[in-house]
Each structure stands twice: as structure tokens, then as C-alpha cells.
Chain A
Amino acid sequence: MKVVAVVNQKGGVAKTTTVANLGACLAERGKRTLLIDLDPQANLTVGMGVAWYELESALHTVLLDPETTPLRTILKPIADLPLELAPGHLDLAQTEAVLLPHADKAYRLRNALEALYTEETYDWVLIDCPPSLGTLTQNAIVAATHLLIPTEPKFYAFAGMDTLNKMIVALTKSLRFRVELLGVLVTMYERGTRLHATIAAEIRERFEDKVFETMIYKNVRVSESELEGVPIILYDRRASGAQNYEALAEEVLLRAAG
């Protein structure tokens, strides 16, 4: 089972969109896939057509009291695919405060996923991280086997990844975890914009083969699919956004196999 934290402390870089659509593309290829919405904004949950405010229990209850609420009890099936969602909730913001005094606060999600390893329930787990480097993101990194970093082709992409690098180094001083980079994904790319081309080339120069060949282009159909509460491949398979994520899924599977 591969557990991928989709992480970048900058908001608006298509973390949620990537989790939703990469997850759907993997599931369509027969890979049993679980999406985890760790962002208190719960955009992934809403984008998958689940009303978080109607839920009695969601990811926050799993993190706070895993014995009473095991992860499997909150899962929601998505579409007609081998795809499930662990929904997020606004109360995840409160969860950070409650967890803060606990010594195992960074291990809650990893512990919750432990049973999935044993039962071999999923091939892929994708975690949508909040746009911050707080306790929830630390939970994702400690639980993950891989990181996927979506980034816009803008200069601050470098500063953001430098900060993430610093955080990972800091975490190695006191936490037990093992994680490797699955890849850096250039998102929000605008065709014909040489500024984007230049910065994307520079990202490739620094990260070399760790950058996915696939780039995610700006595509309004993806935003429309989120409003409809379905992944883009189910909304409009011919849209460039759908084709981008199909290509990304192929590349992810190749990397995982290699």
C-alpha cells in the first residue's frame, strides 16, 4: 500500500484537485484507492459530493478517539469505482488544539492507517493536506510513504519547497518515519506563457527526474466538475484536465513500479 501525502503549505496550488482526480484515475485503473481529507476546509469532501456538516463522525473523530471510531466506520464510497473517502470536517481545526498536549499527536493518522496495512484493503491512499505546516500536516507526513508536491510555476514555489524541506529535517530529529518524494507536480500551468515555461524548466533543473513529466494545465472544466461533486474523468473525459490527470496516473503507476 502506497500512502501519498499531497502537500504544500501554499494554498491554491491544486492539492485538493490533484487528490480527487488522481485518485479517481487510479481507481478507474482498478487500483483500490482511499482519499483522506485532512484539511479543515473540507473542500475534497464537498468536491466528492459529501456534505461534511451532516456527518456525525468524520476524520476528526478518528484522530481524537480511534478506538470508538475506527477509520473504516467513516468511509464513504465514491461513484461506481473502487474509491472511498475519509471525509474531513471543519472541526479538524479544533482537533489540532486538542491534540497539541499529546505526545503521540503526530502519529494519530499513521495509527489509524495501521489496520489497512494489515488487511491490505487499498493499493493507494492519497492524503489531502491543509495549506499549513501544523499538526495535521505533520500527521500526514509521518503516515505517508511518499510525498507529492503540487506547485504553481511561480518563484515562491522554490521558497515553499525550501520551507517544507526545513520542516522535514526538523521532524527527523524527534519522530520516527520514512518518506520519499514521489514527485513534484507543476500545476495551474498556462499554455503559451513563457514565464511559466521558464520557471517550470528551472524547477526541473533543481529537482531533475523528481518532477513529473505531466503538467496540469489550467482548465475550467475541472472547476466545473468540482461544483458538480464528481471527478473530472466522470464529468468530461475529453477535457484537457481529465487527460492531464489520466497521464499523471500512468506516470505515478510507472514510478511506483520502478
Chain B
Amino acid sequence: MRPDKSEALRARLRKGASSFDFDALIQGVSTEDDATEAGALDDAISTPTSVDDEIIPIQIQDTTVADDGQLKGGLVSALETLGVRLLEETGKLRSALQASDASDGGYYLARVNNVLELLETVDPAGETSRRYATPAAPPPGRVWPRPCWSVYEFTESPISGLLAADADLNFVGDLIESAISSPDG
């Protein structure tokens, strides 16, 4: 990488990361002396964090990719491929969950998670996907659902909306265990 490219990269990094906040991490936190009531402890986990507030359900319906003559680079092609794969794997996950099959469900959840991790990496805010209307692109103001590798993340995720009506926490536990132990987990 030439020096000017290195500077350009740093500029892009700074722009992309300028809205990020690390203050609590850098300064440390302490609530030891706060008068937090024990009864309120449960709220800490049942209340979605601001991160979870931003996530939205995956669009299951088919989406037509815009074909307006715009030049599509490798990134857009990758997003189209990932979007299609997300729809396919989510459809299979939904079928498995509706059939109350935790084993197959975990297998497909791991695959959905892997696609979401890739999408987060290449298009963190979903902006490029929206601009080119790639399949499953998040709507304006929203980002990709977070991957779910724990019961907590799954229960707080819109992906849990795919569960059968009679699914309980034990089923979710089996599902997560299956996801973690699957070849993609």
C-alpha cells in the first residue's frame, strides 16, 4: 500500500468510526455504590440494549434487485449473493422452527448467523445494500439483525419471531446448542 493510500484508508477509518463511542470502556464503570434494587436486576437483561433497539426483522419476502443500469462492483455482487443466501437460509430456518425441529433449526441458525456476520463485515450499516436494493436489505434507519449465538441474543432478536407459537425456552436452549455444535457454529 502506498503512503497516500494508507492516509486515505486512515481517513476512511476515522470517518467510519467517528460516531462510535468507547467512553465507558476507556474510563471504566462502577455502579457498586448505587442504590440499585435487587428487584430491578432482571430488567438489565430483559430490557433490550440500544443495539438491539436498532435491529429489525429480516425481510422474508422476495425482493427484486434494482437493475437501473448502475455499475455494480464486486461489493454489490457480494451483497446480492449474501442477500439471496440469507433469504434461503432464513426460509429453511423458519421451516425447521415451525416443525419444532431444534436440530435442523440450529444447523440453519448457524448458517444464518454466518451470513449475518459476513454482511456486518462488508456493509455494517446496510447502506450499500439499501442503495442497490439487494435482497433482504434492511429498510432505512435500520441495520442487519445481530447474529444469535446465545439464548439471550436469540430471544431478543427479531429472528425469534420465526419460532413456532408453542416454542419454549427449553426448545431455544436446544436450538442454540445445536447451532453452536453444528459444522458452521
Do A and B associate with each other? yes
Interface residues of A (CB under 8 A from B): 11, 40-41, 90-91, 93-94, 96-98, 100-101, 103-107, 130-138, 147, 149, 154-156, 158-159, 161-181, 194-195, 197-199, 201-202, 206-208, 210
Selected from B17, B155, B177, the residue in CB contact (under 8 A) with A90 is: B177
Interface residues of B (CB under 8 A from A): 1, 6, 9-10, 13-14, 16-17, 20-26, 28-32, 34, 36, 38-45, 47, 49-51, 117, 120-121, 124, 148-153, 155, 169-170, 172-174, 176-177, 180-181, 185
Does B36 lie within 8 Å of A175, measured CB to CB? Answer: yes
Does B44 lie within 8 Å of A170, measured CB to CB? Answer: yes
Does B21 lie within 8 Å of A165, measured CB to CB? Answer: yes
Does B120 lie within 8 Å of A174, measured CB to CB? Answer: no
Does A103 lie within 8 Å of B25, measured CB to CB? Answer: no
Docked Cα-Cα span, A169 to B38, in Å, equals 18
Quick one: given A97-B170, A165-B21, are A179 and B28 in contact (CB under 8 Å)? yes
Docked Cα-Cα span, A198 to B3, in Å, equals 10
Distance in Å from the Cβ of B168 to the closest Cβ of chain A? 9
Does A90 lie within 8 Å of B180, measured CB to CB? Answer: yes
Selected from A93, A155, A176, the residue in CB contact (under 8 A) with B176 is: A93
Selected from B23, B152, B185, the residue in CB contact (under 8 A) with A100 is: B152
Does B25 lie within 8 Å of A175, measured CB to CB? Answer: no
Quick one: given A97-B151, A134-B153, are A155 and B36 in contact (CB under 8 Å)? no
Docked Cα-Cα span, A135 to B149, in Å, equals 11
Does A132 lie within 8 Å of B13, measured CB to CB? Answer: no
Docked Cα-Cα span, A196 to B105, in Å, equals 37
Task: Pick 10 A–B contacts, CB within 8 A, sort by A.
Answer: A40-B180, A91-B177, A100-B45, A149-B25, A162-B17, A174-B40, A174-B41, A175-B31, A202-B14, A210-B25
Distance in Å from the Cβ of A144 to the closest Cβ of chain B? 11
Cβ–Cβ < 8 Å partners of A169 in chain B: 24, 29, 49-50
Selected from B10, B32, B180, the residue in CB contact (under 8 A) with A202 is: B10
Quick one: given A41-B180, A202-B17, A207-B22, are A181 and B28 in contact (CB under 8 Å)? yes
Does B151 lie within 8 Å of A172, measured CB to CB? Answer: no
A169's nearest neighbour on chain B, judged by CB, is B24
Cβ–Cβ < 8 Å partners of A41 in chain B: 180, 185
Quick one: given A103-B39, A158-B20, are A166 and B49 in contact (CB under 8 Å)? yes
Interface pairs A-B: 4 shortest CB-CB: A134-B150, A97-B173, A180-B28, A174-B44
Cβ–Cβ < 8 Å partners of A155 in chain B: 13, 16-17
Docked Cα-Cα span, A89 to B22, in Å, equals 32
Does B31 lie within 8 Å of A90, measured CB to CB? Answer: no
Cβ–Cβ < 8 Å partners of B24 in chain A: 165, 168-169, 172
Does B10 lie within 8 Å of A164, measured CB to CB? Answer: no
Docked Cα-Cα span, A101 to B177, in Å, equals 18
Docked Cα-Cα span, A152 to B182, in Å, equals 25
B8's nearest neighbour on chain A, judged by CB, is A198
Docked Cα-Cα span, A247 to B167, in Å, equals 50
Distance in Å from the Cβ of B175 to the closest Cβ of chain A? 9
Does B155 lie within 8 Å of A172, measured CB to CB? Answer: no
B19's nearest neighbour on chain A, judged by CB, is A162
Distance in Å from the Cβ of A88 to the closest Cβ of chain B? 11
Selected from B23, B38, B150, B181, the residue in CB contact (under 8 A) with A135 is: B150
Cβ–Cβ < 8 Å partners of B26 in chain A: 181, 207-208, 210
Does B6 lie within 8 Å of A105, measured CB to CB? Answer: no
Does A195 lie within 8 Å of B9, measured CB to CB? Answer: yes
A177's nearest neighbour on chain B, judged by CB, is B31
Distance in Å from the Cβ of A200 to the closest Cβ of chain B? 11
Docked Cα-Cα span, A201 to B17, in Å, equals 14
Does A178 lie within 8 Å of B32, measured CB to CB? Answer: yes
Does B25 lie within 8 Å of A176, measured CB to CB? Answer: no
Docked Cα-Cα span, A106 to B50, in Å, equals 19
Does A177 lie within 8 Å of B13, measured CB to CB? Answer: no
Does B45 lie within 8 Å of A138, measured CB to CB? Answer: yes
B54's nearest neighbour on chain A, judged by CB, is A166
B114's nearest neighbour on chain A, judged by CB, is A11
Cβ–Cβ < 8 Å partners of B49 in chain A: 133, 166-167, 169-170
